[in-house]
Amino acid sequence: MRILLVEDDAAQLEPLQAALSEVGHIVDGVQDGAIAQWMLTQREYDLLILDWLLPQVSGLKLCQQYRNMGKTSPVLMLTAKDAISDRISGLDAGADDYLVKPADVFELLARVRALGRRSPLWTGDTLHVETLTLNLQTMMLERSNPTELQHDVEQQTDRSVQLSTREFQFLEYLMRHPRQVLSRNQIEQALWEWGSEPESNAVTSLVRRVRQRLQTVGVAHWLETVYGMGYCLNPDVQP
């Protein structure tokens, strides 16, 4: 998932960002509420983690504004404010979960997984599109439709493959937007952290690598190149 992490204390921000990145998430970490406010108008996020007490714009205000924008991605409030009245205020502002600092990093990762599973595309720890299953814990891609098993055997193809972190992030993004043409710019914004500049051929190279992984499970043709527009994961395309 692409996550916006807003925490004004660098000593807490950096290890949390590292822990989230380690398990495959793409994390934009910022320390200022006003910067976060602007970033929310520039990019789409799958999850927000907000400290309450932030410079310029509070996490509570950010959450309220985000909901007023009509955005539905889960919001986790991560704050030292532990009174019952504070928890109620946070949830009433639109937060989906509330975790009091200091928080155990493993509990935070579990909360993030739980919030991610609220998407209708997710079942347990997996993401499904037609016959493809992407395991969010192991970064394993599997083809799970038993009706195609015989075809796979005949073609001597494996039905599962281990992905690298970047391959996993790209395929997760594609599977979250099936049958949708995604431009090169959208892919760069989704996969590269704020301020980083991908090399000119980075997306092309990544598409080639993911197509090879899809070939391993027999569905390379699903990853379409739409001339002049971008790329699309389309299970309706025939080989």
Q: Could you give the CA distance from residue 106 to residue 94 in angstroms, rounded to a whole number? A: 24
Say if CB 214 and CB 223 are below 8 A apart. yes
Q: What is the pLDDT of residue 151?
A: 53
**Can you state the angle between helices 59-68 and 33-42, rounded to 10 degrees?**
20
Task: Kindly tell me the number of DSSP H helices and DSSP E strands found in the chain.
Answer: 9, 12
Q: What is the pLDDT of residue 46?
A: 87
Q: What is the pLDDT of residue 128?
A: 85
Q: What is the pLDDT of residue 153?
A: 47
Q: Could you give the CA distance from residue 198 to residue 214 in angstroms, rounded to a whole number? A: 23
Q: What is the pLDDT of residue 230?
A: 92
Q: What is the pLDDT of residue 6?
A: 96
Find tokens 């985000």 and name the residue. Answer: 66
Overall residue count recorded for the chain in this entry: 239
Q: Could you give the CA distance from residue 134 to residue 14 in angstroms, rounded to a whole number? A: 28
Q: What is the pLDDT of residue 155?
A: 53
181 contacts: CB under 8 Å, gap ≥ 6? 226, 229, 230, 231, 232
Q: What is the pLDDT of residue 122?
A: 54
Give 10-residue mean pLDDT values along the chain (239 residues): 92 92 91 94 90 92 91 90 88 91 90 78 72 89 66 58 93 89 90 84 94 92 92 86
Find tokens 């299970």 and name the residue. Answer: 235
